[in-house]
Structure 1
Amino acid sequence: MKWRVVNTGIDHAANNMAIDEAILRAHISDEAPPTIRFYGWKPAAMSIGYFQKATDEINIEKCRIAGIDVVRRLTGGRAVLHDAELTYSVVVRENYPQIPSTITASYCYFSKGLLAGLNKLGIDANMSIPRAAYGQTRRRHASAACFDAPSHYEITAQGRKLAGSSQVRKEGVILQHGSLLLAFDPVKIASLLNLPSLERQNMVAEMLSKRAVSIKEIVDKEITWESACQVMTEAFGAALGIELEPGQLSEKEQAIASELTDTKYSCDSWNLLR
């Protein structure tokens, strides 16, 4: 089976999350093929993991004053500021022939697509190796921000995290999505977290600057969203050993996404109350 690759462009937070879930639902009901999607965010948004409590982790009032959307993801993980980034999502059945059976191994598999695209951009990137492989215990996260440390098989460059991903499985289908940093502003991220003092905020900003890196910092020039999207689209399929075919969302997927935007991802009852 050919996989579909969809470029839905730059959209607002609620619609972005609704489209990912709409593709997931369509694939569960065999009404959509395996799909890789690329998208961006406008305005900028803070997304929080499914199990996080928004009001504990981020400063909702500061986000609203700054015009930054707040949305809860269907996947787990920690808070992410989606701003200057290329976001990808993958939807495929977990028993698809090429897909490894374990969650960590599937992260490794999908990360190969990101590595291939980054290599085409001239970036020497690597996959983070699980600490267990070295007999080490996992380090406790220093903040609620996703980019304060890489997880298993996420992408690093210059020893710092460049791409973060999260995954959920529903009715035998995987939804994995993640952020590839085109630019990175640790001060801005830290200012939006729920931190007890300015001193703590500055400490987190400094920590993030040491643990995360962007494409712009690595190549010392601006890489546009359009350019990054084109390169990733060209590289992803070959790296994963799959055939990609350009496609669009079906009318049913668009209808599901529109309903989810209005009844779920635009609502405080989903985004804030946990």
Structure 2
Amino acid sequence: MRGEYKVPGGKLVAVDVEVDGGALTDVAVSGDFFLEPDSALGAIDAALLGVPVTSTVAQLTQVLEAALTPDVTMVGFTPEAIAIAVRRALGHATRWEDHTFEIVHEAAEEPAMHMALDEVLAEAVGAGTRGPTLRLWEWGAPAVVIGSFQSLRNEVDAEAAERHGITVVRRISGGGAMFIEPGSTITYSLTVPASLVEGLSFEKSYAFLDDWVLGALGGLGIAATYVPLNDIASPAGKIAGAAQKRLASGAVLHHVTMAYDIDATKMLEVLRIGREKLSDKGTTSANKRVDPLRSQTGMARADVIEAFKAHFRSRYATIDGAVTPAERERALALVASKFGTPGWTARVP
């Protein structure tokens, strides 16, 4: 059996294994990484012999680290990367290439409906009733989206939000608040089976799931990088923030909001935490912190989105899709019972 893992920003690691009696009986690690001294490759292969096939990524990593002497230098990969490749070889994890992704890009929705659709589509991916999905959002109204665990009153100036006609909603993932006006951001959700990030920590899964969009931005001339834990930035400043939720059903919801043309003055009137972050960093201009994609690409928002979709299609197997009538009905019910209610929005007052 063969497993592969491409380290975000690093090299490809491949592992060919044979199994007998519940243990690894033959192991061959390969890839385009750099390793010194040469003999270390044999030590890596030997260390994995006899290891139970039920071993976790953490256990496999520990075995490899114990076998490597201090003089070993690994460039572009890590013991953990080898462990992930082993797990994939054993069928515990999947690769991007193992899936066909549905791309959904539909008409504008109200903020609460977007929150509900995220939960519904994640449930469907976990249940196996839909495949992995990239959904690009269009916003039907201005909004502030707060993280699942944020305090409503600490994050949002309610009077300013009402004055500007901004709806406040709460999503199911953690992270910070997002300020949204139609046409001012690019927001997408990537919903995948947990097998795609099996063995990855939360931090590593952020980088792993954001890797394609870094490539898309690079194609637009933006030297974007992943900034732990959940930001995407360029030399000119922050571009985007990500949030993630792993559902018990077996799906991972990863969503990202990118600044295209943010009204920074209005944002700072509405978001209390925005003032604190800027003050803490000694920054007087919000534009230094939230750098719009428009200024870096010179492209219309719709053209940027089309470039993103084209790049995603160039990397992975995709089909064009849509929210099904049953999924939409379920989402509308969730808006009425959860995402559109004061009880959910103010669940952390």
Answer yes or no: same fold by TM over 0.5: yes
TM interval, shorter chain, is 0.7 to 0.9
The CA deviation at 1:12 is: 1.5
| The one of 133, 143, 165 aligned to 1:67 | 165
Name the Cα RMSD after superposition.
2.3
Residue 272 of structure 1 corresponds to which residue in structure 2?
A: 346
User: What is the correspondence of 1:1-274 to structure 2 with a 5 Å cutoff?
Assistant: 1-83=99-181, 84-96=184-196, 101-128=200-227, 130=228, 151-152=229-230, 154-171=231-248, 172-194=250-272, 203=279, 206=284, 208-219=286-297, 221=298, 223-224=300-301, 226-239=302-315, 242-274=316-348
The CA deviation at 1:201 is: 10
The CA deviation at 1:7 is: 0.5
| Deviation sequence 1:15-73 (CA, Å, 0-9, x none) | 11111111011112211111110012231110000000112211122112211110001
- Structure 1 residue runs of 4 or more that deviate by more than 3 Å after TM superposition: 199-205
The CA deviation at 1:99 is: 6.0
Larger radius of gyration: 2
| Deviation sequence 1:234-268 (CA, Å, 0-9, x none) | 112444xx211111112221111111122211111
Mark the CA change 1:245 to 1:89 in structure 2 (over 3 Å): closer, same or farther.
Answer: same
The CA deviation at 1:212 is: 2.3
The CA deviation at 1:188 is: 1.5
Matched position secondary structure for 1:41: coil
The CA deviation at 1:218 is: 1.8
| Deviation sequence 1:84-122 (CA, Å, 0-9, x none) | 0110101111113x7662222221122122112212323
Aligned residue-pair number: 244
Residue identity in the other structure for 1:91: T
Distance 1:49 1:109 in 2: 21
Distance 1:113 1:201 in 2: 28
Percent identity (aligned): 25
**Of the two structures, which has the highest relative contact order with CA contacts closer than 8 Å and spacing of 6 or more?**
1
Distance 1:201 1:168 in 2: 24
Mark the CA change 1:23 to 1:200 in structure 2 (over 3 Å): closer, same or farther.
Answer: closer
Q: Which deviates the most, 200-209 or 158-167?
A: 200-209
TM-score (norm: length of structure 1): 0.81
TM-score (norm: length of structure 2): 0.65
The CA deviation at 1:164 is: 0.7
| Deviation sequence 1:153-173 (CA, Å, 0-9, x none) | x31112521011000101121
